[in-house]
Amino acid sequence: MNDSPHMSRRKFMESTACAAAASVGGPTMVRATETQKLAAMGGMKAVTEPLPQWIRWGEPESDRLDALMEQSSLFYWNGPQTTAFIERFKRHCATTHVQTCSSGTAALHIAVAAAGIGPGDEVITSPISDIGTVIGVLFQQAVPVFADVESDTYNLDPRDVARKITLRTKAIIPVHLAGNPCDMNQFRDLAKQHDLILIEDCAQAWGARYRGQQVGTIGQAACFSMMNSKHITTGDGGVVASNDETLGPLLQRFGDKGTDRVTREPLQWLAANYRMSEAQAAIGAAQLERLEGIASRRNRLGRILTQRLNELPGVTVHREDAANRATYWFYMFRIRPKRFRVERSELVKAMRAEGVNASAGYIRRPLYGERMFQDHSFFANTWPVRDSGQTDMDYRKVKCPEAEAVLRTGIRLRVTENMTDRYVEQMALGVTKVVRHYAS
Ligand SMILES: Cc1ncc(COP(=O)(O)O)c(C=O)c1O
């Protein structure tokens, strides 16, 4: 089957339809299988296809590590591995200033600090994200402000962001959740209108495109994670990049203890050591060569799931705008609980019995629901900006109803690039069997 990322949408639909027919015996066969007994009740499992081994690294990485062993230094500055990594990264994500760093959290902290965000400044972001999105904001003594999300992409909702903008707002951090691009035109307009900095959290969005444009090239700064579970990885690691001529040149300093390694100017701002070593950059440079294959494959698998789950009763699929390319770090659909005879946990259990790697929701609670927010206990049980009157933010009063509903009603499916079309078709069949069985 043609896996080309350039396949037209019509061709893609035709080819996945063929794949479905070939893999499960055509539409009649699908219906017959759907009515079979659930695996949880002694029926046959929907997923019988073995999952091919997930090969994430090999010769390209070991070649670079061999070269690394010939080097006399493993330090990043002017290192050949870091240089190769940056050059490849720029080919992938067209940016002029790139700093490798130790994590996605570090990338975000560097971006926020380089943007000049400080005590009492407000930064609007999504409550459905990894805590790493706001750690840097908090360390800058700035105030994360949570806006609600869209019901079907689970991304930050520009309309609610607009409502949350105040005179203290300095930046917006849209998070391209699960590799599904945010509505960046809206955010770009809002940022322009209110003179705000746009920092893209691309930690889960390697290879994703917004209307043909690589995510990370739209805002003033882009932050990527290379933590172990991400599309490409260095075990742990991150990249922060920018095309902005004010913020961009500061990324290196904020990733490297405030030191400008070219000018050696006196230290002007406090900054942490977030450096990435040459060993990680060597792996990263090789991983970047794998990226396009991984991204296009995950996009295809996500679209197959959408196509198959779209018409199911009581289900809302993970919406991907047809003009974009989502790279599905995970796939999450939502259920309308009233349409089912059992709880979400029972549905998940039954799907797992079918051999589908399904889980309930994503993070356990919206970020503002975490104890450190509820108690405002960030720094040794204090929060200096609040205690000194620079903000009156009270996270106990924050409510993002859609985000809370998404986390209550989402069912997340694991998607990895080693899954064959056939495997994903069978996953969809497993979900279908369970949904049809329990839908009332
Ligand atoms: C959306 C998002 N932002 C930030 C981060 C932080 O990245 P890291 O774990 O590399 O620090 C993650 C990690 O999972 C993430 O998913």
pLDDT digits (tens, 9 = 90+) for 110-160: 999 999 999 999 999 999 999 999 999 999 999 999 999 999 999 999 999
Residue among 126, 227, 327, 332 to mutate when testing ligand 1 (max atoms within 8 A of CB) = 227
Residue among 101, 102, 105, 327 to mutate when testing ligand 1 (max atoms within 8 A of CB) = 105
Average pLDDT over residues 370-387: 98
Rounded percentage of the chain residues whose pLDDT exceeds 70: 92
| Residue 23: pLDDT over 50 | no
| Residue 7: pLDDT over 90 | no
Average pLDDT across the chain, whole number: 93
Interval between CA 134 and ligand 1 midpoint (Å): 10
Residues with CB under 6 A from ligand 1: 103-105, 129-130, 132-133, 175, 201, 203-204, 225, 227, 238
In this structure, are residues 368 and 131 in contact, taking their beta carbons and an 8 Å threshold?
no
Residue 329 Cα: closest atom of ligand 1: 16
pLDDT band of residue 181 (cuts 50, 70, 90) is: very high
Give the residue among 386, 288, 224 at the shortest CA–CA distance from 92.
Answer: 288
pLDDT attached to residue 35: 56
pLDDT band of residue 66 (cuts 50, 70, 90) is: very high
Q: Where are the beta strands (DSSP E) in 376-440?
A: 410-413
pLDDT attached to residue 36: 84
Residue 129 Cα: closest atom of ligand 1: 1
Q: What is the pLDDT of residues 195-240, one digit of tens each?
A: 999 999 999 999 999 999 999 999 999 999 999 999 999 999 999 9
pLDDT attached to residue 33: 53
pLDDT attached to residue 51: 96
CA atoms within 13 A of residue 249's CA, in its CB half-sphere: 6
Q: Cα separation of 272 and 261, whole Å?
A: 15
Phi and psi torsions of 126, nearest 5°:
-90, 140
| Residue 8: pLDDT over 50 | no
Indicate which residue's Cα is closest to atom 5 of ligand 1. 132
Distances (CA, A) of 350 to 257, 333, 357, 364: 51, 16, 11, 21
pLDDT attached to residue 435: 98
Q: Cα separation of 233 and 242, whole Å?
A: 21
Average pLDDT over residues 426-437: 98
pLDDT attached to residue 15: 37
Q: Cα separation of 270 and 144, whole Å?
A: 20
pLDDT attached to residue 4: 38
Interval between CA 225 and ligand 1 midpoint (Å): 6
Q: What is the pLDDT of residues 34-47, one digit of tens each?
A: 558 999 999 999 99
Q: What is the pLDDT of residues 249-259, one digit of tens each?
A: 999 999 999 99
Interval between CA 108 and ligand 1 midpoint (Å): 9
Average pLDDT over residues 180-192: 98
pLDDT band of residue 26 (cuts 50, 70, 90) is: very low
| Residue 32: pLDDT over 90 | no
pTM of the model: 0.93
Interval between CA 202 and ligand 1 midpoint (Å): 9
Rounded percentage of the chain residues whose pLDDT exceeds 90: 92
Residue for token digits 């609610």?
A: 160
For 388-398, give one letter per residue: b (16+ CB within 10 A) or e: eebbebebeeb
Residue among 110, 128, 155, 204 to mutate when testing ligand 1 (max atoms within 8 A of CB) = 204
Q: What is the pLDDT of residues 308-339, one digit of tens each?
A: 999 999 999 999 999 999 999 999 999 999 99
Interval between CA 204 and ligand 1 midpoint (Å): 7
Interval between CA 105 and ligand 1 midpoint (Å): 6
Residue among 225, 280, 363, 412 to mutate when testing ligand 1 (max atoms within 8 A of CB) = 225
Interval between CA 273 and ligand 1 midpoint (Å): 18
| Residue 373: pLDDT over 50 | yes
CA-CA-CA-CA torsion for 290, 296, 300, 306, nearest 10 degrees?
A: 110
Give the residue among 191, 220, 180, 214 at the shortest CA–CA distance from 89.
Answer: 214
| Residue 29: pLDDT over 70 | no
Long-range contacts (CB closer than 8 Å, 24 or more residues apart) made by 120-123: 120/168, 120/385, 120/390, 120/391, 121/168, 121/169, 121/170, 121/171, 122/166, 122/168, 122/169, 122/170, 122/391, 123/169, 123/170, 123/171, 123/172, 123/173
Interval between CA 111 and ligand 1 midpoint (Å): 14
